[in-house]
Amino acid sequence: MNFKILKLASLAAASLFWSVSASAQIIEAVNADQLEAALSAAGLNPIMMQDAASGAPVAEGAAGEFKFYVRTLSCSGAPTACENLVFFANFDLGRPAETADYRIVNGFNDGQVFGRAYILESKNQVGVDYVIELGGGVTEEHLSENIGRWSDVIAAFFAKFLEGDPSS
């Protein structure tokens, strides 16, 4: 008798899982309006524009005191909807990059799961980026959580950089 109850409970749980999963909104690409809404919902104050060459959506935003951009890639359709979101923030060093800057960037990359740091030697800048891929589909909640993580990525990078070189 217990086996039948267990089997019925398992079937009910599976049925509930699949009905909830099936009702979740799946996103495979976002257009400019959807990107703006998602960034706004995360409190990132977007200003929307378009890439001059491709017409793809681009957003300028702010995570606290940090200004950043979101470029979109793998875009198609009308309105243009894009599968990849590349978040990035660059910071002026005010001097040429030094060996210590490379160590800090490498240390961040070694210890950070989300985001990648880099140095732009020709501009005397350091920066961090973060990619969100939507191809294949993600839920709205997944997209929201990933966008919300961006502020943490910038803050972690900035803290690591200041910790590694207080004069920067």
Instruction: Give the CATH number of domain 25-164.
Output: 3.30.1460.70
Domain ranges in the chain are 25-164
- Inter-residue long-range contacts of 113-121, CB under 8 Å, 24+ positions, other chains counted: 114/149, 114/152, 114/153, 115/153, 115/154, 115/156, 115/157, 117/157, 117/160, 120/90, 121/96, 121/97
pLDDT tens column, 52-88: 999 999 999 999 899 999 999 999 999 899 999 999 9
pLDDT of residue 26: 94
Q: Is the pLDDT of residue 94 over 80?
A: yes
pTM of the predicted protein model: 0.82
What are the angstrom distances between the C-alpha of 62 and each of 39, 43, 59, 80, 114?
10, 8, 10, 24, 18
Contact 85, 150 (CB under 8 A): no
